[in-house]
A and B are shown apart, each in its own frame.
Chain A
């Protein structure tokens, strides 16, 4: 072997990937798009019919968008945004879900969170739980110390 320096293929065994988290972020993206579309349709077509439900739809859409972007970005401050938005979603689906059952008169028209997201196969209730779990699992502090 000569002393001539030789470039050997450096093997980087780390996966260039977020793994399963990408699926979750994609699911959030789908909900961000469809919640935005739904809110847009409701506000364009019949905003006056159920202002509370439709305003909620719009708020939910904005929060889903924020959560999607923040989780995908995964920066230090963006992770904080993700914690806040995902927690807000959990609180929202619990509060609106409960209220829509005990005070249905408040919600004459369905929003994405009514009845714990039954109209969407309860995905709106499951997503924030998975989201919080993912935020905990992907936490740099936990990975470094754990």
Chain B
């Protein structure tokens, strides 16, 4: 409800900033982070066992990609409805997020050793970090 307290400060030029946080956004972020944690742990187990990424892990990754598409649709709808959020910054993160797991899948096919599992861990960790930033962007309108 910062909109009622006067002009916004800092680098946010789109005052007044609405900082209400839409529920669908937080649900998708929670699902994505949870799924990435589980997939990363699975990859960690396979790394310890000296095993490569398997197709079932890639299918989980495909599910995560689907959730990212859902996240993009939600973002597009909310922005179209006039939600104040730093759109350029947000899309930068969303597009980067979407590219991570496909890149890890390419490595999984090319590298049939435990190192593809390490790459999948790295992809999941990066995905979690980016989702936390997406969460921050929605929560602050992009000023934080």
| Chain A residues engaging chain B, CB cutoff 8 angstroms | 15-20, 22-23, 26-27, 29-30, 33-34, 37-38, 40-41, 44-45
List, in ascending order, chain A residues with CB within 8 A of B118's CB. Answer: 20, 23
B122 near A33: Cβ-Cβ < 8 Å: no
A22 touches B89 (CB 8 A): no
Q: Is the interface of A mostly helix, strand, loop or mixed?
A: helix
Please determine whether A27 and B113 come into contact, CB atoms closer than 8 angstroms: no
Q: Are A17 and B96 in contact (CB under 8 A)?
A: no
List of B residues within 8 angstroms of A33 by Cβ = 96, 99-100, 103
- B88 to A34, Cβ gap below 8 A? no
B107, CB-defined interface residue at 8 Å: yes
**Could you tell me if A17 and B100 are in contact, using CB atoms closer than 8 angstroms?**
no
- Closest chain-A Cβ to B134's Cβ sits at a distance in Å of 13
Bound-state Cα–Cα, A15 to B123, Å? 23
Q: Are A45 and B107 in contact (CB under 8 A)?
A: no
B100 to chain A, nearest CB (A): 7
Tell me the dominant secondary structure on chain B's binding face: helix
Contact call A37/B111, Cβ cutoff below 8 A: no
- What residues of B have a CB within 8 angstroms of the CB of A23 in the complex? 115, 118-119, 122
| B93 interface residue per 8 A CB criterion | yes
Number of B interface residues at 8 Å Cβ cutoff, please give it: 23
Contacts of B113 in A (CB 8 A): 15, 17, 19
- Write out the residue numbers on chain B whose beta carbons fall within 8 Å of the beta carbon of A15: 113
Contact B92 A22 (CB under 8 A): no
- What are 11 inter-chain pairs, A to B, with CB distance below 8 A? A19-B113, A19-B115, A20-B115, A22-B111, A22-B119, A30-B126, A33-B96, A33-B99, A33-B100, A34-B96, A37-B93
The answer to whether B128 has its CB under 8 Å from any CB of chain A is no
Check A40/B92 contact, CB under 8 A, given A16-B112, A20-B115. Answer: yes
A41–B88 contact, CB under 8 A? yes
B110 within 8 A of A: yes
In Å, the complex CA distance between A26 and B121 comes to 11
CB-CB contacts of B78-108 with A at 8 A, as 1s and 0s?
A: 0000000010110011011001100110010
Which residues in A have their C-beta under 8 angstroms from that of B104? 26
Closest Cβ neighbor of B100 among chain A residues? A30
- A37/B96 in contact, CB under 8 A: yes
Return chain B residues, CB-CB under 8 Å to A40: 92
Distance, CA A71 to CA B77, complexed state (A): 40
